[in-house]
Structures are given as C-alpha cells and as structure tokens.
Amino acid sequence: MKMKNKVVLITGGGKGIGRGVSEAFCEEGADLVITGRDESSLLKAKEELEQKYHNRVLAIRGDGAVEEDVKNVIKKTIDCFGHLDVLINNAMASKSGKMFIEHTKEDFALAVNTGLYATFFYMREAYPYLKESKGTVINFASGAGFAGRIGQSSYAAAKEGIRGLSRVAATEWGPDGINVNIICPLVETPQMLKWKEEYPEQYAKTIHNIPLQRFGDAKKDVGRTCVFLASEDASFISGETIVLQGGSGLRP
C-alpha cells in the first residue's frame, strides 16, 4: 500500500469529488482527515469509510473561509495523528452558471473566500508539518479559466488564483522537499448533474469539447491521480497543472 502510515487531509472529503479522493487514499492504507461545512455528511462518510476500509478517519467540521476554523482543523489533525503528509484542497462554493453581468460582489466573494482564501489558509497552516514530512500539496483548480467557460466568471477567477498561488508555493517550498501540484478535474458528480439540468446548453458545449466525450470518475480518475502525485513515484513532479478532462493533458 503506497499510503500506509501516511496522514491525508482532504477538504470537502465527505462528498462529491472529495469523497472519491478519500476512497482512493483509503484503498492505499492512508489515515484520513476529512473536513467541510456539512457535519452530517462528514460523519456519514467517516462511518462508511471506516467500515469499508478499516482506516482511521477523523471528521472535523470547519469552514475553510474562516481562518480560525482552519487553524483548529490543523491542530486537531496533529493532536490526533502527530503528523501530516498530504494536503488536498478540494472544497469550494460558487455561483457557477450565473453570467458575469449578473454577479454581485457577494457572489464573487463567495468563490474567492471558499476557494482562494481557504486554499491559502490551509497551505499556510499546514506548511510546518509538511516541511517535517517532506509532504505533498494537491490543489484543485479548473479548466474554466483558461477555457473561458460561460457562466464561470467568479469560479474561474478564484481557481486561476489558486493556480498562481500553487506555482509560487512550489517554487518557494521546493527546497523544503514539499511538492505542490494542481489538478483541474471535470467529474460526474451530483452537482454536475444538477448543473446539466439547469444549464443544458452549457453542459452540451462542455462535453462536446472533451476528447473522450465523457466526464471523469471521482475515485478512479481523480482519486488515483491524487494518490500518484502524493506517492514517491511522483517525487520529481511539482508546480504542474494536470488537466483531467478527457484527454486534454498537461498545461503550463
């Protein structure tokens, strides 16, 4: 098992893409910390993951946009496990589907606070422990920014901010032995299916531009990629944007 004795913190790890990533790491023997704003989904995921994989799973409610919540999640992680090896910043909320001109300041702030600020807070607070473990950061961005997707203005802006932040961190933290990479996934989730129902034309345009003509699987495609990036097999990969969108490949 590649991740045995490793501690992996996944924001939004209780549902959606994060749940698939959680399962992929559990299969490799990792101990998990899953966090997010929905305590009921976290506790349900903890119970199901522990029963299925027999891993240790710590569920901590926390809002990534709130600095003190992030500090509390990191503290409880270290108090419980004593170390941290992998940080995965997946959780984010936004007004996806809402056109640029319809956005309010509050709509824009939602994406920036829950995405960009949350990623910044978690990376900063986790840094000392990742330095000790020579660990890994995997941040989630999106193809929405460099593709200029309709109805994704605040979402794309926050995700492009995460990409920039990640590449700087990869440079600054490389001497400490910390790998920092970005994944841009396009995955079939309940949220995606809801978006399909609400914005069928945008959905059709999106899938038309995917070489494989399908969306990815949260566990098999995204989760396994995260496991690889957190493993010794990827020890020389850092500062990369990995686009998981049906064959789009790497982008600078």
DSSP string, 63-118: -TTSHHHHHHHHHHHHHHHS---EEEE------TT--GGG--HHHHHHHIIIIIIH
Q: Which of 53, 127, 155, 203 is catalytic?
A: 155
Is there a catalytic annotation at residue 53? no
Tell me what pLDDT residue 204 has.
Answer: 80
CA–CA gap between residue 129 and residue 2 (Å, rounded): 20
- Report all structural domains of the chain as residue ranges with CATH numbers, in order of start: 7-245 (3.40.50.720)
Q: pLDDT band for 214, please (50, 70, 90 cuts).
A: confident
Say yes or no to pLDDT of 201 above 90: no
Say yes or no to pLDDT of 45 above 60: yes
Percent of the chain exceeding pLDDT 70 equals: 96
Please report, for the chain, how many H helices and E strands are present, in that order: 10, 8
Q: What digits encode the pLDDT tens for the residues 74-133?
A: 999 999 999 999 999 999 999 877 889 999 999 999 999 999 999 999 999 999 999 999
Say yes or no to pLDDT of 252 above 50: no
pTM over 0.75: yes
Say yes or no to pLDDT of 149 above 80: no
The first and second tokens of residue 133, run together, are: 């473990």
User: Nearest CA to 7 among 24, 23, 27, 29?
Assistant: 29
DSSP 3-state assignment of 6?
coil
Chain mean pLDDT for the chain: 91
Q: Alpha carbon 64 to chain centroid distance?
A: 12
Task: State the sign of the Cα–Cα–Cα–Cα dihedral 159, 161, 164, 168.
Answer: negative
